[in-house]
Chain A
Amino acid sequence: MILSKIFKNTLIVLTACIVLSACATKKEIASDIKGSMQGDVYTGTDTVEYLAEGVPDRVFFATNESILTTASRETLRAQAAWMRKNSSINVVLEGHADERGTREYNLALGERRANAAKDYLMTYGISSDRITVLSYGKERPVDSGSNPLSWSKNRRSVTVKAN
């Protein structure tokens, strides 16, 4: 049972990777000159905090999207490994949106983003019992700027220790 579940999940992940890599190549061509964004996904480390050494606490998203980038998946795998090592720790995944959307839709979008992160953690063996999802929509930006770079930092899912 467990094996088949893992197998199924791996399949999903693999399919997701194929789909995503197709997207990624397209976006890499239009790679952002500022260096801290790729497409419109934030790739910098300004706002990132660490749950443990080498375990960043957050992943970033493209406008209106909840797809995990290659970098996001790497971050989440590190988080999953850290959670497996620290089996007593539970987390809250806080999903956020930027200010360029209506409030109610953004609440839903934040929830969708945090769930994308949750699903990925689960495929790496983290039980859903240990994960709570909380959307803030656009209510809690980290960067108060009104420009594409600020917005990219705000489109995020942050993993926060719950205990």
Chain B
Amino acid sequence: MIKKIITLFLILIPINSYALIEVDITRGNLDPLPVAVSPLSIDEQSRKSFEKALKKKNIGEEISSIVENNLSTSGLFNPLSKEAFLQAPDIANLKPRFEDWNLIKAQALITGKVNYVDDKLRVEFRLWDVLAAKEMMALAFTTVPSNWRRVGHIISDKVYERLTGEKGYFDTRIIYVAEEGPKTQRIKKLAIMDQDGFNNKFLTLGNELVLTPRFNPTSQMVTYLSYFKNLPRVYLLDIETGTQEVVGDFPGMTFAPRFSPDGKKIIMSFAKDGKSDIYTMDLENRIVERITNHPSIDTSPSYSPDGKFITFNSDRSGYQQIYIMKSDGSNVKRISFGNGLYGTPVWSPRGDLIAFTKLHKGKFYIGVMRTDGKGERLLTENYYQEAPSWSPNGRVLIFYRETKTNDKGEGFTAKLWSIDLTGYNERQIKTPTDASDPSWSSLLSN
């Protein structure tokens, strides 16, 4: 459904030039690539039409500032100040004077233009290699004007992909839990927003406690835990229609839900008589399958991207540790052996890593390890943080962090943060209220 919202007509102009610019995203990028984002040019008539339709004075500038912001927050690019630009946007889009852009040390240049055509928004943009004085990419697309923010995200994704060789993650959304009120009586609502914090929308009213929302692979459905009627159960929500339903008919608490990579099953924990085991429910035929059967707490299950394995945490060794098993529950193997407790394992979309939360000596860490448990790397340390969720390209993790309260028990906050897999580029994602339990969607357009 979401994909239908934006009608993309991609006109690809083939590029034969050899790319000289390359951005290495595998190491911490302390020297981000200088890029000039020239405002998308716009003719006066189109400008007026968009001003009327969208209440934005200059939609070309608005869209390019989205691109600028995305590239900047990725940590890989350094958008240069527009004040230094010498060439007018409309002329630059036709033929950049590379020596001018070279002068301000831009290595890549983005130009483009916006038109109002039959009540639609038509955008074309070009990516130029300044040093090689060559066009690297040219794209044009048409959509409904209200999609203008997504246009900015799609341009960002195309630029990111062209320059890094990997898919971007900007045309995505985050579902999370919005929090308000005193720590002892938090009011929690499901909320959804664009990856950059815009278009925030609350999906529940806060009448009952809700926790741990997670997207399905197409990002149209969400599974989460709700305390509706004081019965903590896993629910399914259709974001478009708002329809909610309880998942399965369990005589007790179900929690920690996630979708299988094909979106056909929900995997979750079911707690009964002091033990929690992992179950799946097929959403088509409603068949429930028990995956683990152990007197311990088995929870936080997450599938490998090929659906063949499951990682989860269990205290069967006496303390919370990370395990993997085949998706039928066989071959259970502990993989975390470092000092401390390990929880919330979540399999990378690339399949090679598992992100986790670690508690050691009173500190919480977000880290990653290989699927055999080796190569543990701790990315960030704090008083309290947990629940990493991967960007769809597997390069960034989003998680939440809570603050320590003062002597009077005041000053509690919960916020969303992101960090690159490299351990660099840690930043807070602004939300209208306090926030926790983030889950990153897939790329909405491909």
Q: Which residues of B contact A108 (CB under 8 A)?
A: 255, 269, 271, 276, 297, 299
Does A73 sit within 8 A of B, measured CB to CB? Answer: no
B residues 151-195 in Cβ contact with A at 8 Å: 182-186
Could you tell me if B384 and A100 are in contact, using CB atoms closer than 8 angstroms? yes
Bound complex: CA A145 to CA B437 (Å): 21
Q: Knowing A104-B212, A107-B255 touch, does A141 contact B183 (C-beta < 8 A)?
A: yes
Given A101-B359, A139-B211, A144-B412, A64 and B273 contact (CB-CB distance below 8 Å): no
Interface residues of B in 248-284 (CB under 8 A from A): 252-253, 255-256, 269, 271, 273-276
B300 touches A104 (CB 8 A): yes
Question: Considering the chains assembled together, what is the distance between the CA atoms of A150 and B405 in angstroms?
Answer: 11
Does residue A103 face the partner (Cβ distance < 8 Å to B)? yes
Indicate if A74 sits at the interface (CB-CB under 8 A): no
Residue B274 contacts which of A64, A99, A116, A142 (CB distance < 8 angstroms)? Answer: A116
Please indicate the chain A residues that have their CB under 8 angstroms from the CB of B359 in the complex.
100-102
Top 10 closest pairs, chain A to chain B, by CB: A115-B274, A144-B409, A102-B343, A144-B183, A108-B276, A146-B404, A108-B297, A111-B271, A112-B274, A104-B256
Name the contact of B299 in the complex, choosing from A104, A142, A146 (C-beta under 8 A).
A104
State the CA gap A100–B182 with chains docked (Å).
18
B interface, CB within 8 angstroms of A = 182-186, 209, 211-212, 225, 230, 232, 252-253, 255-256, 269, 271, 273-276, 297, 299-300, 313, 315, 319-320, 341, 343-344, 357, 359, 362, 383-384, 386-387, 402, 404-405, 407, 409-410, 412, 436-437
Q: Which residues of chain B are within 8 angstroms of A107 by Cβ–Cβ distance?
A: 211, 225, 232, 253, 255-256, 271, 299
Partner of A102, one of B319, B344, B405: B344
CB-CB under 8 A from A142, the residues of chain B are: 184
**Which of B271, B299, B319, B384 has a CB less than 8 Å from the CB of A64?**
B319
Complex: A141 Cα to B182 Cα, angstroms: 10
Please measure, in the bound complex, the distance between the C-alpha atom of A145 and the C-alpha atom of B341, giving whole angstroms: 22
Most buried by B among A101, A111, A116, A140: A111
Q: Interface residues of A toward B: which range?
A: 20 to 34
A71-112 contact mask (Cβ, 8 Å, vs B): 1 or 0? 000000000000000000000000000011111110111011
Q: Is B184's CB under 8 angstroms from A104's CB? A: no
Measured between beta carbons, the chain B residues less than 8 angstroms from A109 are 297
List the A side residues contacting B357 at CB < 8 Å.
Answer: 102
Q: How far is the CA of A146 from the CA of B404 in the complex (A)?
A: 6
Question: How distant is the Cα of A141 from the Cα of B405 in the complex, in angstroms?
Answer: 13
Which one of A103, A111, A144 contacts B182 once the chains associate, using CB atoms below 8 Å? A144
Say yes or no: A104-B274 contact (C-beta < 8 A), given A139-B211, A150-B409. no
Minimum C-beta distance from B384 to chain A (A): 7
Given A139-B186, A139-B211, A141-B183; A105-B300 close (CB under 8 Å): yes
Judging by beta carbons under 8 Å apart, are A105 and B412 in contact? no
Q: Report chain B residues within 8 Å CB of A111.
A: 252-253, 271, 274, 276
Known: A115-B273, A134-B232, A135-B232. Is A103-B387 also a contact (CB below 8 A)? yes
Chain A, Cβ-Cβ closest to B276: A108
User: Out of A66, A102, A139, which one reaches B300, CB within 8 Å?
Assistant: A102
Min CB–CB distance B339 → chain A (angstroms) = 15
Question: Which chain B residue lies CB-closest to A132?
Answer: B230
Inter-subunit contact B184/A140 (CB<8 Å)? yes
Residues of B within 8 A of A102 (CB): 300, 313, 320, 343-344, 357, 359, 386-387
* A143 at the binding interface (Cβ < 8 Å): yes
Please name all residues of chain B whose beta carbon is closer than 8 Å to the beta carbon of A104 when the two chains form the complex. Answer: 212, 255-256, 269, 299-300, 343-344
Q: Once bound together, how far apart are the Cα atoms of A134 and B253, in whole Å?
A: 8
Shortest Cβ gap from B182 to chain A (Å): 7
Given contacts A104-B269, A140-B185, are A145 and B409 in contact (CB under 8 A)?
A: yes
State in angstroms the CA–CA spacing of A143 and B252 once bound together. 27
Cα distance, A101 to B276, chains bound together (Å): 16
Residues of chain B within 8 A of A99, CB atoms compared: 384, 402
Q: B437 and A103: CB pair below 8 A?
A: yes
A134, B269: Cα distance in complex, Å: 15
Q: Which residues of B contact A143 (CB under 8 A)?
A: 184, 409
Considering only CB atoms, which chain B residue lies closest to A112 in the complex? B274
Cα(A107)–Cα(B297), bound, Å: 10
CB within 8 Å of B: which A117-163 residues? 119, 133-135, 139-146, 150
| Chain B neighbourhood of A135, CB < 8 A | 232, 253, 271
Minimal beta-carbon separation of B90 from chain A (angstroms): 52
A130 vs B387: C-alpha distance when bound (angstroms):
36
The CA-CA distance from A112 to B252 in the complex, in Å, is 12
